[in-house]
Amino acid sequence: MSTPADAPDWRTLTREQLDQGLNNSLAVADSAAIIAGWDPPSVALRARHPQYLDLRYGPRERNRIDLLQAGRGGPTLVFIHGGYWQARAKEDFTFCAAGPLAHGIDVALIGYTLAPDVRLGQIVEEIHAGLDHLARELPALGGDPQRIIVSGWSAGAHLSAMALGHPHVRAALLISGVYDLEPIRHSYLNAKLDLDDATIRANSPLLQAGGIDKPAAIVVGSAELPLLRAQSANFAAHRARHGLPVVYEEIPGANHFSILEQLASPAGRLTALVRDLARPA
Spatial CB neighbours of 95, under 8 Å, sequence gap ≥ 6: 38, 41, 42, 45, 260, 264
Read off the pLDDT of each residue in 235-248 and give the average, rounded to a whole number.
98
On the question of pLDDT at 117 being above 60, the answer is yes
In-domain check, residue 186: yes
In-domain check, residue 203: yes
Give the integer Cα–Cα distance in Å for 107 and 69: 7
In-domain check, residue 4: no
Residue 146 structural domain: 10-278
The fraction of the chain above a pLDDT of 70, given in percent, is 98
pLDDT of residue 166: 98
On the question of pLDDT at 2 being above 90, the answer is no
pLDDT of residue 1: 58
CATH number of domain containing 227: 3.40.50.1820
Specify burial of residue 209 (Cβ count, 10 A radius: 0-12, 13-18, 19+).
exposed
pLDDT of residue 7: 81
Give the integer Cα–Cα distance in Å for 209 and 234: 14
In-domain check, residue 178: yes
In-domain check, residue 1: no
Q: Are 229 and 250 in contact (CB under 8 A)?
A: yes
pTM for the predicted model, two decimal places = 0.97
Total domains in the chain come to 1
Spatial CB neighbours of 127, under 8 Å, sequence gap ≥ 6: 80, 110, 112, 159, 162, 163
Give the model confidence (pLDDT) of 38-91 as tens digits.
999 999 999 999 999 999 999 999 999 999 999 878 999 999 999 999 999 999
* Nearest 10 degrees: Cα torsion 248, 250, 256, 260: -80
